[in-house]
């Protein structure tokens, strides 16, 4: 997947994404502009014909041009709307695919609410780029064409209109520069508010329990004054530009009419040509459409800048290797992970997990356990060193091969899909994950995974079983964890459980552990835990301390060390 390295390049691609609708819009808008420029001339000729006692042919031509203008206006709205919808849909898909393709740590730099704002609001603004560009170019034709037409009628008229247009162009250029900054600041602060709101909604229970509703509301809305300031600034700039245009345009028309009146008295113009000159003056000075188009372009470019920012991050390379025969031997060689500020989270980790073994990862809070689990399962690349599964570097595996081989379960799993069946079958092949057409409770792979995760009985009690909508499923924290485990269970070679049993009771955890052991099928298990019982049941324990591997040994050997026992006394780490 290619990255897009700037808003201008992105806007050009958005314009192309409008496809045939943008081409149709350009053709229709150009036809309308030509008809609009031809109408004053036709009216002038009709007036001269009427004064001279000629026929009504030019009157018929003028009526035909009016009909063309009405038709092109209708078709232009239709083509512009369809083109914008098409371009917006493609831009949204591109941004969403890219967010899932880049490193997980990169996405975490952006609040979820801010990303939603970019995906929903800013893509809609940027999707208008094709319409804005076409209308922007076409909107310049009537003023420029009017200058040419007036010059042909009488050069002094063309010079008068051109001088006024130069003045108006200077005013509009200042508007574009100032409005671009105002719109960009408004969208930035709006994303900040959205991010804080989503954070607050996610922690609603905690906020209510701590009786900090008012404080959290104030935190979420703290940026509203700044948002209002940027919004008012944008509207003031638009109002000022409109006022200046509205003030200069009539004066420009008066100047052209005055010069035209003098030319008529001097015999340089006929009455019909004067009528045409007045019409061209109105057409050339009526820059309201140009200003509206400029405003739309400003919004589109500001939105494109916001979208181009996450798109600029390169996606993770997708390898093309497959795994050889093996049972899931995991090796970490000199693995290092750094935080955003450069602080080492993991440093020099050398760890070998034998195929089919269970290794518990323990350590105090901040020891780097979750980071180790993430790089071990290929959720993101280490900043140093490499991770190998059955001798193949994870970065060299194709995405499909990696996800078939490795399954992840988390302490607070995000259940993705419409139904419970979808949530469990997320990592399965599409055919196996698709719900059956008959009345069977689930497809066989999904049902097997649910039973292994000790959640099949829970699903059976739901109103519609496996077809129960996730939004309607009253799941406890432990039941949601079990669904997350079921989703990870079909992985073929490696299971990475990041505190994924923290909300389970001891008996359920024991049954799941037994299922993982008895039905492991040669799979390797890497289990991040804060429970001594889980560590004791593992074949080996990887003890992390300050981002380094302090020891790799059986739990019973390490238990003699008071510092090791203190890890569990402190409650461990739930990161």
pLDDT at 185 over 90: no
- The whole-number average pLDDT for the span 539-550 is 92
pTM of the predicted protein model = 0.75
Give the fold, CATH level 3, of 330-569: Rossmann fold (3.40.50)
pLDDT at 130 over 70: yes
Closest CA to 496 of 410, 427, 398, 424: 410
What integer pLDDT is reported at residue 399 of this predicted model?
83
C-alpha–C-alpha distance, residues 174 and 169, integer Å: 9
What integer pLDDT is reported at residue 398 of this predicted model?
85
Quickly state the pLDDT bin for 2 (edges 50, 70, 90).
very low
- The whole-number average pLDDT for the span 255-283 is 78
Tell me the three state secondary structure of residue 323: coil
Quickly state the pLDDT bin for 3 (edges 50, 70, 90).
very low
pLDDT at 224 over 70: yes
Above pLDDT 90, what percent of the chain? 15
How many angstroms separate the most distant Cα atoms in the chain?
Answer: 117
| C-beta separation of 95 from 107 below 8 A | no
pLDDT at 438 over 50: no
What integer pLDDT is reported at residue 573 of this predicted model?
40
Closest CA to 330 of 535, 552, 573, 547: 552
pLDDT at 203 over 60: yes
- Mind giving me the DSSP string for 330-389? EEEEEEEEE-TTS-EEEEEEEEEE-TT-EEEEE-STTSSHHHHHHHHTTSS--SEEEEEE
pLDDT at 111 over 70: yes
pLDDT at 350 over 90: yes
Helix, strand, coil % in the chain, rounded to nearest 5: 65, 10, 25
- The whole-number average pLDDT for the span 265-285 is 77
Q: Give the position of tokens 């060689």.
A: 333
What integer pLDDT is reported at residue 288 of this predicted model?
60
What integer pLDDT is reported at residue 572 of this predicted model?
43
Quickly state the pLDDT bin for 558 (edges 50, 70, 90).
very high
Looking at 380-465, list the stretches that DSSP marks H as alpha helix, in order from N- to C-terminal side: 399-405, 420-424, 430-433, 444-452, 456-460
What integer pLDDT is reported at residue 4 of this predicted model?
44
Tell me the three state secondary structure of residue 3: coil
| C-beta separation of 226 from 186 below 8 A | no
What integer pLDDT is reported at residue 334 of this predicted model?
92
Tell me the three state secondary structure of residue 442: coil
- Tens-place pLDDT, residues 42-80: 888 888 777 766 657 888 888 898 899 899 989 988 998
Give the range among 167-176, 204-213, 289-298, 411-420 with minimum mean pLDDT: 167-176
Q: Give the position of tokens 């390379």.
A: 317
- Range list for CATH 3.40.50.300 in the chain: 330-569
The CATH architecture assigned to 7-311 reads Up-down Bundle (1.20)
Q: What is the mean pLDDT of the chain?
A: 82
What integer pLDDT is reported at residue 222 of this predicted model?
86
- Mind giving me the DSSP string for 41-102? HHHHHHHHHHHTT--SHHHHHHHHHHHHHHHHHHHHHHHHHHHHHHHHHHHHHHHHHHHHHS
Above pLDDT 70, what percent of the chain? 89
- Range list for CATH 1.20.1560.10 in the chain: 7-311
Q: What are phi and psi of 359, to 5 degrees?
A: -120, 125
Quickly state the pLDDT bin for 570 (edges 50, 70, 90).
low
What integer pLDDT is reported at residue 128 of this predicted model?
87
What integer pLDDT is reported at residue 513 of this predicted model?
65
- Which two tokens mark 370? 């979750």
Q: What are phi and psi of 345, to 5 degrees?
A: -95, -40
């Amino acid at each position: 997947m290619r990255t897009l390295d700037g808003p201008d390049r992105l806007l050009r691609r958005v314009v192309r994404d409008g496809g045939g609708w943008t081409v149709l819009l350009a053709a229709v808008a150009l036809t309308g502009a030509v008809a609009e420029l031809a109408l004053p001339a036709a009216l002038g000729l009709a007036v001269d014909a009427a004064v001279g006692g000629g026929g009504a042919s030019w009157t018929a031509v003028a009526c035909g041009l009016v009909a063309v203008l009405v038709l092109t206006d209708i078709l232009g709205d239709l083509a512009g709307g369809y083109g914008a919808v098409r371009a917006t849909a493609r831009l949204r898909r591109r941004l969403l695919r890219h967010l899932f393709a880049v490193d997980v740590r990169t996405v975490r730099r952006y609040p979820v609410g801010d990303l939603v704002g970019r995906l929903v609001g800013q893509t809609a603004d940027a999707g208008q780029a094709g319409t804005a560009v076409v209308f922007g170019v076409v909107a310049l034709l009537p003023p420029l064409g009017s200058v040419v037409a007036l010059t042909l009628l009488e050069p002094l008229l063309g010079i008068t209109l051109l001088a006024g247009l130069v003045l108006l162009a200077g005013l509009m250029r200042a508007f574009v520069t100032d409005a671009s900054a105002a719109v960009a600041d408004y969208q930035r602060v709006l994303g900040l508010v959205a991010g804080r709101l989503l954070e607050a909604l996610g922690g609603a229970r905690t906020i209510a329990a701590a009786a900090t509703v008012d404080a959290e509301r104030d935190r979420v809305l703290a940026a509203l004054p700044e948002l209002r300031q940027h919004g008012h600034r944008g509207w003031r700039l638009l109002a000022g530009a409109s006022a200046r245009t509205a003030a200069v345009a009539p004066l420009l028309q008066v100047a052209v009419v005055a010069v035209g009146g003098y030319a008529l008295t001097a015999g340089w113009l006929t009455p019909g040509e004067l009528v045409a000159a007045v019409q061209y003056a109105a057409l050339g000075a009526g820059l309201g459409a140009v200003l509206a188009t400029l405003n739309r372009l400003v919004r589109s470019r500001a939105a494109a800048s916001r979208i181009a920012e996450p798109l600029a991050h390169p996606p993770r390379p997708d390898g093309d290797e497959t795994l050889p025969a093996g049972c899931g031997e995991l090796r970490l060689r000199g693995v290092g992970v750094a935080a955003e500020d450069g602080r080492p989270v993991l440093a020099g980790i050398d760890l070998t997990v034998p195929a089919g073994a269970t290794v518990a990862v323990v350590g105090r809070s901040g020891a780097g356990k979750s980071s180790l689990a993430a790089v071990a399962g290929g959720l993101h690349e280490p900043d140093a060193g490499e991770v190998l599964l059955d001798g193949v570097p994870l970065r060299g595996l194709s995405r499909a091969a990696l996800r078939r081989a490795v399954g992840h379960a988390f302490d607070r799993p995000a259940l993705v899909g419409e139904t419970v069946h979808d949530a469990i079958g997320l990592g399965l092949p599409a055919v196996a994950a698709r719900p059956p057409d008959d009345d069977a409770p689930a497809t066989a792979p999904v049902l097997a995974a649910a039973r292994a995760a000790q959640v099949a009985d829970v699903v059976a009690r739901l109103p519609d079983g496996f077809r129960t909508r996730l939004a309607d499923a009253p799941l406890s924290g432990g039941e949601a964890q079990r669904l997350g485990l079921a989703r990870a269970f079909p992985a073929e070679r490696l299971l990475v459980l990041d505190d994924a049993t923290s909300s389970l009771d001891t008996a359920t955890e024991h049954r799941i552990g037994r299922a993982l052991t008895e039905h492991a099928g040669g799979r390797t298990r890497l289990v991040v835990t804060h429970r001594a019982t889980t560590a004791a049941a593992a074949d080996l324990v990887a003890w992390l301390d300050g981002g380094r591997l302090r020891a790799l040994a059986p739990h019973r050997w390490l238990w003699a060390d008071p510092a090791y026992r203190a890890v569990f006394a402190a409650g461990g780490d739930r990161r």
